[in-house]
A and B are shown apart, each in its own frame.
Chain A
Amino acid sequence: MSELPAESSDAKEALASGAATIQDPTGLHARPAVKLTKLAKAHDATIEIRAGEEGKWVNAKSPNAVMKLKAGSGEILFVRAQGAQADEAVKALVALIERDFEAE
């Protein structure tokens, strides 16, 4: 993916990004938003998400910000991360979205 944090060019830390489509017919509603936030918080990385190409990047660890995305069904959620666990974080979040927020 080409979406990298703007300040990434001089950053030495690992960068990662990914994307997945929201499957739930009601979109990214409260419960999945909480799951996503919790999973993001479990990783040592700065993690941001946005809904669609034009969406604004928001902190994936902020439950308020994630809920306010109001991402709808079929929308693509983009994930980008920077930090020690950036790779793991993006993989885990993309996997969560892809399995429709079900438990593993």
Chain B
Amino acid sequence: MFSGTTSYIYIALAIYTVIVIIFIWWENRVMKTNLLAKESEMQRRMYEVSVLKELGERIGYSLNVQKIVDVITGSLRRLLPYSTVSYLLFGEDGRVIFHCILEDSVNKDFVLTVKNRMIEALGALAGQKISLDNLDESISGTITDETNKQQIKSFFNVPVVINNRPMGLLNVASTSAGLYKEDEMTILYTIMNQASTAVSKLENILNQEKGKLNSMVESMADGVFMVDTRNRLLVINPAAKNMLGISKVQPTIFDVLDALASKFDLRTKIEQSINQDKLMVEEQLQVGTKVLRILISPVKDVQNEALGAVVLFHDITKEKAIEKMREDFTSMMVHELRSPLTGIKSIANLLREEKIKNEQKKYQEFIELIVSNSASMLDLVNDLLDVAKLEAGKFQVVKKDTDIKKVIETKIQSFQALANEKKLGLASKIVGELPIIQADENKIGQVLNNLLSNAIKFTQQGKIIIAGFVLQKGEDLMQKAMSAGMIWPGIKEGVKFEADQLIVGVMDTGVGIKEEEISKLFNKFTQLEQSAASEKKGTGLGLVITKGIVEAHNGKVGIFSKEGQGTAFYFALPLNHEDKIQKTN
């Protein structure tokens, strides 16, 4: 038989074995549970990721929040248990969209409670009261069942936020209690976050693009505005407002139409443009002081659907003024040539008659008239040709060594008789030596002809002086001019000349020129117009040609004048290196 001690040992061993077995079993059980839990967690994660991926693909590049929320609600069943899933979103034009998808057949009161709670929550989120008048409601999924008396036991809202703007709410509600603990809802937040980040990014990119377009439209010199198919003004740039004289910051289409009222039926043109899908052009329209060319172009989206019309105003005031000047110039020119030609023709006709030959004096007078009129016509034609050449850039100067002093003296000789006739003094004043310069002697002579004949023409008493000097670096213009005896009537303080120039001035003590007339002197259009109604003979184009000749020598012409005191025309020719060398030699 076993002794007492031995039996104790057996009993202890048995107990130990049982404990170990139990422990191992327990341990195994715990490990198994953990493994299962981990596996399930893994599966859930995998599932979440696949749902997120799918959502990402389906959301794509949409900016339509409702469409995105529709995609999310369509996939949610696989992630969460719920009786209903709903969304409440801000739509266009102040509308609010409520949509509820029934998974279980709950009663109508269930849906109503979900809606009301969501409206309250969105109101709090957006900080504004949601009006029920603007609500677009819809329900989908299974039918409601009034026999089902179950109420909401679990309820959860997730905000829909795009670029920090609350856009709406997503909601899950259930008849089962204890669902939707905050830490379990991470998946819904993740989904919403992903969607909202995608939309926000896209929106930012679009805004950037829109910003570029906007600043382009804003800075355009042409006036631009766009209307939609319902004639609402979508955008108008400052130039358009300016051209139409609209001062409102945010004008409507009525302000635009009013600005053109009685002049142009813009509304009909816009409608025609959209309906006929055609560019409409109004070649010119006087609006206030401006002449505008108007283009109305239909705007379509990529699907060729009409979106509205763009209206462009192009300011053609200047072009029209130039066109008119040109027309006036042509008719003036024709007049200037036709008048003497008509006279020549009539006189020549009279000369054909026998009896006129017996009247010696009259015969002589007629011949003289023909000669002098043909000569002045020839002058005009020559001047016009010169001006045409200048404008076409075909005016040629042939530069060779030119002694300006000699040219001045020759001109004084040839104009002496004319000056004497009017009892005017005519002299030259040369300060120091004048360099031999590279210039077109004939053309410079022509310049002096023009300046001298003008001076004599517009001076009744006193004298005319041609002065010439070289302005060197560091020399004071006024001092040098004074020492040259140059009188510059009406000269303003601070007039600067560049150094190293040969300056020749023709001064008279004549009638002078009004300040506002000075700028017109070198303009062929105004000059010819003036000469037609003037009692002084001449084409008036002399100064236009003078300017052209001097500029062809890289020089400058200018004028100082005071009414009643006299006028000083000058031209300045730049000296180049060789000129100076020749001078020092």
* Chain A bound to chain B: no
B residues apposed to A, CB below 8 Å: none
A interface residues, Cβ below 8 angstroms from B: none
